[in-house]
Amino acid sequence: MDSKFTRYIIITAVTAVVIFIAWYFSNIITYILISAVLSIICKPLLKYLSKIHIGKWRMPRWLIATVGLISIWIVAFLFFYFFIPLVANQAKELSNVDLTEVGYHLSQPLLNLESMIQDYIPGAEDFSFNALLSENIASIISVRDVTNVFGSVANMLGSLAVASFSISFITFFFMKEENLFVGGINMLFPKKYERSISRAMNSINKLLMRYFIGVFADAFCVMVVLTIGLTFVAGLSFQTALVIGLIAGVLNVIPYVGPLIAAVIGLIIGTVTHIDLIATGGIGALLIKIGSVFAIMKIMDDTIFQPFIFSNSVKAHPLEIFLVILIAGSIGGILGMLIAIPTYTVLRVFAKEFFNKYRIVQRLTIRM
């Protein structure tokens, strides 16, 4: 009994130390995990390059890893090369909007809304949008806040440079030495578990590779559907529709919450860029069209794209995935929702490998 109790104490102490180290060096661990994800995504490319040969000559592993790393940087560069100018042009167009005219057009609708609030909400007889803005505008914008923003941007750029170099360096070696990451995981466990860990890591690699590739494909499909719909159904300019589609594609990576945020952004951009329709009464029809396009996209995403990607790629039931995302969101917010499915996939694979005798594990991993 004493020996068992002592063993539990040691295990608990070691676990606490590991958690503390993981928290203290969270930035480094984040770099390692991002590098592992990038190396997983690039695996199909690396396998293809490894098959290329001229006679008996084959590409050395360091060259394959270099090509893979350059490919990642090219994709990132092309994304920002096309995305940033579009957003900048859209921001310039929004900056040219006459705020006085916007206020003039919105004044009557706001007065009507203010009157409804005063009439139908108990205790709101003295409610006023002007008073609300006057009370809070000073706390929203101040010289100190502007100074802090510039300081934060400078710190962010420095951190981004360090993160980019670190992730690139680690990713190169993960791609050059295929079993480096798995070997590092094996070092944390006794040697007798090495074979089981290797099997689990191989399964995780396959499932996560399918999942992350699917996520990028889903974001692209969302962007295309919204761009086409907002251009031809809502009547927005192609550039505006493309910017909204890009933003929605990126935000769609956040399950459930992302599409809602994207829809709000789309409605705001559509309103500001067509502010003249408020005077003619056509803004309502435009907002309905934009909302309908987002609704159709959401239905397509929920019924076609995401069930195929999230459930089939990680071999889990859609309801199971939904509950996991809800739980992760309540624990870790948006970040928790982002990492919910990859984390759950890892836990399921390890549970199947080491705890398969339990019925709950057998039930949760029956599709794997």
Flag whether pLDDT at 87 surpasses 80: no
Tell me what the pLDDT averaged over the chain comes to. Answer: 75
Q: Is residue 20 part of a domain?
A: yes
Q: Is residue 71 part of a domain?
A: yes
Domain total of the chain: 1
Enter the pTM of the model.
0.68
What does the H/E/C string look like for the chain?
CHHHHHHHHHHHHHHHHHHHHHHHCHHHHHHHHHHHHHHHHCHHHHHHHHHCEECCEECCHHHHHHHHHHHHHHHHHHHHHHHHHHHHHHHHHHHCCCHHHHHHHHHHHHHHHHHHHHHHCCCCCCCCHHHHHHHHHHHHCCHHHHHHHHHHHHHHHHHHHHHHHHHHHHHHHHHHCCCHHHHHHHCCCCHHHHHHHHHHHHHHHHHHHHHHHHHHHHHHHHHHHHHHHHHHCCCCCHHHHHHHHHHHHHHCCCCCHHHHHHHHHHHHHHHHHCCCHHHHCCHHHHHHHHHHHHHHHHHHHHHHHHHHHHHHHHCCCHHHHHHHHHHHHHHHHHHHHHHHHHHHHHHHHHHHHHCCCCHHHHHHCCCC
Q: Is residue 65 part of a domain?
A: yes
Q: Is residue 59 part of a domain?
A: yes
Which residue, among 283, 272, 274, 218, has the nearest Cα to 248 in the 3D structure?
218
Taking only the tens place, the pLDDT of each residue in 254-267 is: 777 788 888 888 88
Q: Is residue 334 part of a domain?
A: no
Q: Is residue 232 part of a domain?
A: no
Q: Is residue 83 part of a domain?
A: yes
Q: Is residue 116 part of a domain?
A: no
Taking only the tens place, the pLDDT of each residue in 346-362 is: 778 777 777 777 677 66
Query: Where is pLDDT greater, at 281 or 63?
Result: 63
- Pairwise CA distance, residues 39 & 31, whole Å: 12
Residue numbers of the domain that contains 41: 1-96+159-178
Flag whether pLDDT at 149 surpasses 70: no
Taking only the tens place, the pLDDT of each residue in 215-252 is: 888 888 889 989 999 899 888 888 888 888 888 888 88
